[in-house]
Structure formats: C-alpha cells, structure tokens
Amino acid sequence: MTQQHEKLSAFMDGELNEAEFIDSVKNDSELQAKWRSYHVIRSGLRKEATVMPEFDITARVAAALENEATVLAPKSKWRAIPGVNKIVPFMRQSGQFAVAASVAAAVILGVQQMNQPVPTEPFTTFQTTGTPQAGLAPVSLEQSQTLRNNNDMEALLEKRRQINALLADHEQQLKLKRAEEQSEQTVEDNPNQP
C-alpha cells in the first residue's frame, strides 16, 4: 500500500500521469482519504487553507483502546506501604501530645489569671503624704504583689498537685490507648492465633 501512497504523492506533484492510477483512486476509499489529507496538508503549508481539515480520530482511538492490554492491580491498603506502620502511630501520638500540651497551657494560664489580685484602683494620681506609697514604683503604674500568707501558698500547692494529677492521668490513658492499639495490630497481623 505504501507504493500506492508514493504514486499518489507523485501524482499530486505532477510527476505521474497515469489514467489507470486515477481510476484506482476513484475506486479506493483509503486513497481518496489520503488524497483529501494531502491536499489539506499542501494548502496548510502554502498558507492557502480555506477549509478546516476534518480529523476523525475516534475510530483509531477506539481501536487502540480495544487492543490495549488490561492490567488489574490488587487493591492495597495504606498499611501495606513500607514505613506507614511506623509513621501513623507517631503522628497519632504527636497529635495527642499537642492536645495535652494545649490543655496544660490553658489550665496554667487560667490558674495564673485566677490568682491575680483584683486591683481596686489601677494607680494613684495624688500623693497622700510626703513619701511615696508603699508598693508603687515611681516609674510604674502597677502595684507590686504583696507576699502571700500560708493559706494562699497551700491553696496554690493544692492546685498544682491537682494539675499534676490530671497530667499523670492523661499520660496513663495514653499508655492504655497505645497498648490497645498494639494488641489490635497483633490481632490483625496474626488472625489465626486465638
């Protein structure tokens, strides 16, 4: 067939004058399609293209898809990926530590805010005697904190004990959760063992 295409190209260039070849082009639909595409190409190269070329590649794509080999891959779980079994628990644990740190920070800030003395006046604008008031710095508008008595210190220590107990309880819950996850993982890894 390539010989026919070469003859068609030579005929278009004016190098071939065979009446038999014209009859073969009239009877062969493939040569007619080539004739049209060669004319479109020649017009495009000469910048004479007045007609948009009609490319119908759907049949060729459909044929190529039918001849395409089908490859079926097994479904893989994300746990089958190497290293994921180490990363996922680490990320889960990191998230738990972040939550615990946020809660601890909120509790500490709350305790500090609750233990602040409530000022009756933010600052004094007048002097009652010839000496400055005790507890006020000459350049500062804030009152200095007074020394706490024993009852306040005991209350503070009790609050700190409660916070430490909450943090210890949280750590224990994390350990229990990790132990549960490890036992579930071993059950998944070894389903035949009771």
pLDDT in tens, 43-55: 777 777 666 666 6
Q: Which of 100, 103, 144 is nearest to 123 (CA)?
A: 144
The residue-averaged pLDDT of 136-156 equals 64
pLDDT at 175: 92
User: pTM here?
Assistant: 0.28
Where residue 64 falls among pLDDT bands split at 50, 70, 90?
A: confident
Chain position carrying tokens 């004058």: 17
Looking at 64-68, 79-83, 186-190, which range is the least confident one? 79-83
pLDDT at 151: 76
Where residue 162 falls among pLDDT bands split at 50, 70, 90?
A: very high
**128-to-122, 131, 133, 134 alpha-carbon distances in Å:** 16, 8, 8, 11
Ramachandran bin of 14, using left for φ above 0, alpha for ψ from -120 to 50, beta for the remaining angles: left
